[in-house]
Structure 1
Amino acid sequence: MKIDLTVDQGPCNTDLRSWCLGIAIFSLVSITFNVLFAPSVVNFVGFAIALTANILLLIGCIKYKRLLLLGWLIYALLVVIGFPFAVFGVIFHYGGYRESTGFNNIFGALLSYILTTLIVVFCARLIYSYYVQLKNREGSPQAVPVV
C-alpha cells in the first residue's frame, strides 16, 4: 500500500484552501479555549509557537502566500519530534506529560497523544499539498488574453 505525500483535493472532493482555513480557525479557537479554561496545559512558549503558526497559516491562506504555510509545517514537525518525548514522559511519569492531557492513567494519556499526533499529521499532509499547489501555481505562467 502506497500513501502519497500530496493530494489534489481535501476529503469529500473539497478545495484544499478551505481545509487549511478551517484548520487555522479551529486551531486558534481551540488554543484560546485551552488557555482560558485549562491554563496549566499549555505553557507560554508552546502557546506562542502554536499561535504564531496558526496565524501564519491563516494569513498564508488568505493572501495565497506559500512561504507563510511553512510556519505551520514547522509547527507540525515540532509536534512530531515531541511525540516520542511525550510517550516516554507518560510511561515513566516525568515532565508533567500525563497531567497535561487531563487523564490520570497511562492509557488515556497515550491515546490522547496518539490522536493528537495523527490529527496533526493529517492536517500537515493537507497543508503541504496546498503548499505544493501554490508553488506550482506560481511557477506556471498565468493565461493572458491576447488582443
Structure 2
Amino acid sequence: MKIDLTVENGPCNTELRSWCLGIAIYWLISMTFSVLVAPNVLNFVGFAIVVVTNICLLIGTLKEKRVLVIVWLIFAVIEAINFPFAVLGVIFHYGGYREATGMNNIFGALLIYIITFLIIAFSARIVYSFYLQLKNNEASKPPRALNVV
C-alpha cells in the first residue's frame, strides 16, 4: 500500500482551496471550544498559535499567497513533533497534557490526541497539496513586463 504525499483534488473530487478554507475554520472553531471547555495555560498558548496560523491559512487561501500557507504547514510540523510528548505526558502525567484534553482519564486523553494527530495529518496533506498547486500556478505564469524608462 502506497500513500502519496500530495493529491490533485480533495475528497469527492472537490477543490483543494475549499478544503483549506474548511480546515482553517474547523481548527478555529474546535480550538475555541477546547479553550472554553477546559481552560488552562497550555490551551491558551495553543489557542494563540492556532488563531495566528489559521488566519494566515484563511488569508493565504483567499488571496492565493503561498507564503501564508507555509505558516500553517509549520503549525502542522509543530503538532507532529508535539505528538510523542503529548502521549508520554498523558501516560506519565506530566506537563498538563492530560488536563489539556478536559478529562483525567488516560485512555480518553490518548484517544483525543490520536484523533487530533490523524486529523492534523489529513489536513497537512491537503494543505501541502494546495501549497504545491499555488507554487506550480506561479511558476506557469508568464513573467510580468516591466516598463523601461
TM over 0.5: yes
3-state secondary structure, aligned to 2:29: helix
| Map of 1:14 onto structure 2 | 14
1:97-117 CA distances to partner (integer Å, 9 max, x unpaired)? 112112222111111101100
**Partners of 1:77 and 1:113 in 2: CA distance:** 15
3-state secondary structure, aligned to 1:47: helix
Deviating more after overlay: 2-11 vs 94-103: 94-103
Aligned residues of 1:35 and 1:41 also touching (Cα < 8 A)? no
| Map of 1:47 onto structure 2 | 47
1:6-28 CA distances to partner (integer Å, 9 max, x unpaired)? 00000011000000001111211
**Partners of 1:43 and 1:52 in 2: CA distance:** 14
Counterpart mapping for 1:80-91 below 5 A: 80-91=80-91
Aligned length: 142
**Partners of 2:46 and 2:28 in 1: CA distance:** 13
Deviating more after overlay: 90-99 vs 70-79: 90-99
Q: What are structure 1's unaligned runs of at least 5 residues?
A: 143-147
Following superposition, the deviation at residue 36 of structure 1 comes to 3.2
**Partners of 1:43 and 1:29 in 2: CA distance:** 13
| Map of 1:145 onto structure 2 | none
Q: What are structure 2's unaligned runs of at least 5 residues?
A: 143-149
Following superposition, the deviation at residue 81 of structure 1 comes to 0.2
3-state secondary structure, aligned to 2:46: helix
1:17-47 CA distances to partner (integer Å, 9 max, x unpaired)? 0000011112112222332343227443222
RMSD: 1.4
**Partners of 2:102 and 2:33 in 1: CA distance:** 15
| Map of 1:112 onto structure 2 | 112
